[in-house]
Structure 1
Amino acid sequence: MDFEAAKRLCRTFAGCTEDVKWGADLVFSVGEKMFAVTANAAPAEGISFKVDDDRFLELTDRPGIIPAPYLARAKWVHVSREADLSDQEAAQLLRRSYELVHARLSRKLQREIGAA
């Protein structure tokens, strides 16, 4: 998985904002809600994002993918360099993470993001 490509992909999602939190983490958000977190340094060594509840156990059974520290209870995973995850599958998972977070926003905010 190419983490720099993952960062570029996240930036293309409607209403995506990014900022640095906790000193060194680059956080991608929609409607001020996080959907992906990676290192601010380049090249990044991993990325964390939200997954569907039913995919959480499946993904964390794969080498190089673990429950994300501090966020596992919310069904977030952390993907490291050792993960056997294609760029295509990673893109699908990141888009789904964005969709999961976007769906939890208020209808008004969803409309505002869609109109932007």
Structure 2
Amino acid sequence: MNIEQLRKYCLSFPGATEDIKWGADLCFCVGAKMFCVTGADSISGGMSIKCTPEKFDELIEREGIDPAAYVGRYKWVRIADLNAVTADELKALIEKSYQLVFDKLPPKVKKTIK
């Protein structure tokens, strides 16, 4: 997956938006809450996504995947080596990250999205 494929995939979710934060990070959000973060120009440096506690524990056992800086305690992982997951698994992880973030949004915000 390249940056354009990632952008297209992330923006295909209802209410998804993109924004550049911290100068060089491309953040995909729903309801103003992030669900995927990567480099602004390339995903070669990896990406960070939110996971379930069980998936978090499973993923950080793999080489090339670590708890994300600053947000690891909230079950975010940084996939530094994209070869650590298959393309289909990566899509499923991004979709789950979106769903986890969406599910935590206030009901008022959810109504405006669906």
- Alignment TM-score, normalising by the size of structure 2: 0.92
The runs of at least 4 aligned residues of structure 1 exceeding 6 Å deviation read: none
Aligned length: 113
Percent identical residues? 40
Deviates more, 1:102-111 or 1:41-50: 41-50
Corresponding letter in the other structure for 2:27: V
- Whether 1:92 aligns to 2:106 is no
- Provide the aligned C-alpha RMSD in A: 1.3
- Alignment TM-score, normalising by the size of structure 1: 0.90
Corresponding letter in the other structure for 1:51: C
Deviations 1:34-91 (A, max 9, x none): 1110000135421101000111111000111111111101100011235421110000
- What are the equivalent positions in structure 2 for 1:1-116 lying under 5 Å apart? 2-4=1-3, 5-42=5-42, 44-81=44-81, 83-114=83-114
Q: Which runs of 5+ in 1 are unaligned?
A: none
Q: Which runs of 5+ in 2 are unaligned?
A: none
Deviations 1:1-47 (A, max 9, x none): x2423332111111011111111000111000111100001354211
Q: Distance in 1 between matches of 2:6 and 2:45?
A: 12
Corresponding letter in the other structure for 1:88: D
RCO comparison, higher one (Cα < 8 Å, 6+): 1
- CA, structure 1 residues 8+81, in 2 after alignment: closer, same or farther (shift >3 Å)? farther
Q: Distance in 2 between matches of 1:43 and 1:98?
A: 18
